[in-house]
Amino acid sequence: MKELTLQVNGMMCTGCENRIKNAVGNIDGVKSVTADHTTGKVTVIAGNDLSKEVIKETLEDIGYEVVGE
């Protein structure tokens, strides 16, 4: 298992948090997702074989910008 933390722009409310949790949580290999709109941080616990790029692409596909890690 590995933990990835990404800084994300565009999260404004708990609805955004839930949207991110649902989208990222559906990626194969993801065990858990937390999102905090007040800090803009998304933390993912996933299997070691999951690429950070897959998570970034998923976030961008649903309208958020990954700005840091």
Mean pLDDT of 1-13: 96
Q: Going from the N-terminus, what domains does the chain have, and what CATH number goes with each?
A: 2-68 (3.30.70.100)
- Tell me the whole-structure pTM to 2 decimals: 0.92
pLDDT of res. 68: 65
CA distance 61 to 26: 13
pLDDT tens string 19-65:
999 999 999 999 999 999 999 999 999 999 999 999 999 999 999 99
pLDDT of res. 44: 97
pLDDT of res. 69: 59
CB 30 within 8 A of CB 24: yes
